[in-house]
Chain A
Amino acid sequence: MARLASPRYYLPVLLILLLFALPLFVKSPYYLHIMAMVLFWAYMATAWNIVGGFAGQLSLGHGAYVAAGAYTSSLLFAYLGISPWFGMFIGGLVAGLMGFLVGYPTLRLRGAYYALATVGFAEGFRVILTNTTHIGKWKTGGAEGFMIPLLGNAPQHMQFISKVPYYYLILVLFLILVLICRWIDGSKLGYYLTALREDEDAALALGINTARVKLVAATLSAFFAGVGGVFYAQLIRYLEPNAIAGPIMSNQIVFLAIVGGRGTVLGPALGGLVLTLIGEITRVVFNQIMGLHLFLYGLLVVLFVIFKPRGLIEFLEVLWNRLVNLLERREGKHAA
């Protein structure tokens, strides 16, 4: 109980409660959709961070995993009637397998090989999706995209008329992922990842199987990206290869994570929240300039890499500590 009385503990709890309470105040489906998308991007940046941040291996092709998850669950749903609740797991596994296959030959090499392989693989996958209209008897739509059959309100198939359940779904997924990342950060795997990031040569000389540690991170990261892709598919209900598997998706995820704070548990999520909000605002204000938000993200990446390489999270940490100290002092006075 004494522990809960400290602002260090009750503040995060309050924040999470606030996130859960938001739909009580926001009723507009438009804003709920935006809130769900903000959390989606925070989730994706957090998933990317497992390989891109914790393991320090630049992946520029996470769109492929998002697409793998999304297409897997959607096709299984449309043609075999398998619920996306279950498809989420299968989609994640398919994406994880892809992440493993891209990483296996390249993560043992030093240098830009892995980054290049992720770009090549994602681009190849996008082209295949664009040019494949059928898999056997199943119509996948190719460049036209794939429409997920609408059943109306069907919670057992992860379909809802209201946007509120989508918001809660991604909120829960996001919180679970953050908890997993916190756990990884403090686990043995986390130590090996930190060692690898700090000094790969030293880690190697100590007998750490750096190739394997990287591969585990790459596979986990792809798995969670795939799970995110399934959510995305259910929310948007329309899959277009260029939008979902293309460089826009892949790059955006990287931008968010880098601006937020690569390698920290909460930085990428913070980047996702802040940048997506900025992106939405610019979309509304300058709606005639397509892609302006991406241009802005790119600019922010450059500025942050130069001036604040640790990312937005650094500001948040300072603010957070001030707030906690302030609250602790006030409580101290009350007690006295």
Chain B
Amino acid sequence: MALLEIEKISVFYGEMCVLRDVSLQVERGEVICVVGANGAGKSTLINTISGVLKPRSGKIIFNGEEITHLEPYQIVEKGIIQVPEGRRLFLNMTVEENLLLGSYTPRSRKKRKENLEKIFTLLPRLAERRKQIARTMSGGEQQMLAIGRAMMADPQLIMFDEPSLGLAPKVVDHVLELIKNIAAQGVTVLLVEQNVHHALELSTRGYVLENGTVVLSGTAHELLNNPHVKTAYLGL
């Protein structure tokens, strides 16, 4: 049984159809990459899985249980979290406060101390800066914090929405390394990235989203060697 199964979901903003009959499967322990141009519907997909947006049709099944109509906080409780596009930190709060806000749900609240320790070993820079106001941190540090905050929810599936956006190349490497580490801990990953080459290299499989539909899917290796992906996304 797949960890996450998306069956033909369609999502609309008002009358505009942004995702049409999108199906996608994520097995436990995979790193899935979703590739697509600006406006293809990647963020919409992540927000629909999170329950922030509701599909007009189709089903989302997680751990064999339908979650299509659950509220966002219930979905987080089930074990799905996202690191939103643009990080969306609480900029006037400290590092520590941001992290603690990541463990709102009852399940993660119980493991709050333990998870905080884990995140501080994974990201020692955050430990040094516990009391720093999020606004005053560099872009890279803010992205680390956003990831740490999401990890506080103790997720089974973590979704990254363009985590390298606006970061210097060196910092991008660092972020991708971190994602690899998270996956190595057994957390399943769904990754949306503009850095298609790097993202596919650390993925098991990928999907290509164009104008709200899945046009292509396959193993990372297949996609990296696909002529269409090469010309459209890898600039080769």
Contact = CB atoms under 8 A, between A and B. Distances in A.
Nearest to A213: B104
A202 interface: yes
Interface string B100-135: 111011001000000000000000000000000000
A201 B101 contact: no
B72 interface: yes
Interface in B58-102: 71-73, 75-77, 81-82, 84, 88-93, 97, 100-102
Given A191-B100, A201-B84, A209 B73 contact: yes
A195 B101 contact: yes
Chain A interface category by residue count: 10 to 19
Interface of A: 191-192, 194-195, 198-199, 201-211
Contact of A202 (B77, B90, B100, B153): B90
Given A191-B100, A195-B90, A202-B90, A208 B73 contact: yes
B149 interface: yes
Given A207-B76, A207-B77, A207-B153, A194 B104 contact: no
Contacts of B82: 205
Nearest to B109: A188
A191 B96 CA distance: 12
B52 interface: yes
B194 interface: no
A178 to B, nearest CB: 22
Contact of B104 (A199, A201, A207, A211): A207
Given A192-B104, A207-B76, A209-B71, A202 B89 contact: yes
A209 B88 contact: no
Contacts of A205: 47, 50, 52, 72, 81-82, 84, 88
Interface residues of B, number: 28
Nearest to B72: A204
15 contacts: A191-B97, A194-B90, A194-B93, A195-B90, A199-B88, A202-B84, A203-B101, A204-B52, A204-B72, A205-B84, A206-B101, A206-B102, A207-B77, A207-B104, A211-B71
Given A191-B100, A195-B90, A206 B52 contact: no
B81 A201 contact: no
A210 B92 CA distance: 19
A206 B89 contact: no
A199 B72 contact: no
Given A206-B76, A207-B77, A191 B52 contact: no
Nearest to B50: A205
B157 to A, nearest CB: 13
A201 B73 contact: no
Contacts of B84: 201-202, 205
B136 to A, nearest CB: 15
A192 B82 CA distance: 18
Nearest to B86: A202
Contacts of B52: 201, 204-205
Most chain A CB inside 10 Å of its own CB: which residue of B82, B84, B100, B153:
B84
B92 A198 contact: yes
B153 A199 contact: no
A206 B92 contact: no
A198 B91 contact: yes
B90 to A, nearest CB: 5
A195 B89 CA distance: 9
Given A207-B77, A209-B71, A209-B104, 20 more contacts: A191-B93, A192-B101, A192-B104, A195-B101, A198-B91, A199-B88, A199-B90, A201-B52, A204-B73, A205-B47, A205-B50, A205-B52, A205-B81, A205-B82, A205-B84, A205-B88, A206-B76, A206-B101, A207-B72, A209-B73
A197 to B, nearest CB: 9
Contacts of A208: 73, 101, 104
Nearest to B101: A195
Contacts of A195: 90, 93, 101
Most chain B CB inside 10 Å of its own CB: which residue of A203, A205, A209:
A205
A206 B93 CA distance: 15
B149 A206 contact: yes
A188 to B, nearest CB: 8
A194 B81 CA distance: 20
